[in-house]
Amino acid sequence: MSSFTLDTNYLIDVDENRPAQGDILTLIEEARRGEADIAMLASSACERQAGGAHLSRFADFQRRLIAVGLGDIALLRPIARHGFSFHGFAVMDGYLAAVVALTMWWLTGPIIGRPLFAPAINATFRSKRLA
């Protein structure tokens, strides 16, 4: 069985009745019959939609899929990147997740712990750079 990954341009082709629409819908029907495996990359936060706007929420993306009859297609989570992926529907690598967690702790954690915590981090990074 063949596998295909669709990007948002395929959604736009179907929605706007572009020439590729027939081939895309044929592929989707084959997938529904179990003859092909397809999934769509859910990163259309960066794609301009009809009218020039961007979809800013994952729920809007899902509604658009349903409106054009593609609501049953499996969705792939893209790598998290501000402006390109939907908040809450993306994959972060371990380093990025750690940076986000430390940043959130720094912004929302107890003020008393910050001055004691920062020198320890700086000393650790300094010692690794010099080693």
Asked if the structure places residue 84 within a domain, the reply is no
23 and 62 in a single domain? The answer is: yes
Domain count, the chain: 2
Domain span at 29: 2-76
Instruction: Give the confidence band of 130 by pLDDT, cuts at 50, 70, 90.
Output: very low
41 and 69 in a single domain? The answer is: yes
72/34 Cα distance (integer angstroms): 13
User: Is 111 a residue whose pLDDT tops 70?
Assistant: no
Q: Are 75 and 39 in contact (CB under 8 A)?
A: yes
47 and 10 in a single domain? The answer is: yes
64/28 Cα distance (integer angstroms): 16
Torsion angle, alpha carbons of 23, 12, 63, 71, to 10 = 20
The residue type found at 78 is P
User: Is 62 a residue whose pLDDT tops 60?
Assistant: yes
Which three-class secondary structure state does DSSP give residue 37?
Answer: strand
- Read off the pLDDT of residues 3-12 as tens digits, 9 standing for 90 and up: 888 888 888 8
Q: Are 13 and 7 in contact (CB under 8 A)?
A: no
Mean pLDDT of the chain: 74
Residue that terminates a domain, selected from 76, 103, 119: 76
Asked if the structure places residue 12 within a domain, the reply is yes
Average pLDDT over every residue of 103-129: 53
The residue type found at 97 is A
65 and 23 in a single domain? The answer is: yes
User: Is 100 a residue whose pLDDT tops 80?
Assistant: no
33 and 71 in a single domain? The answer is: yes
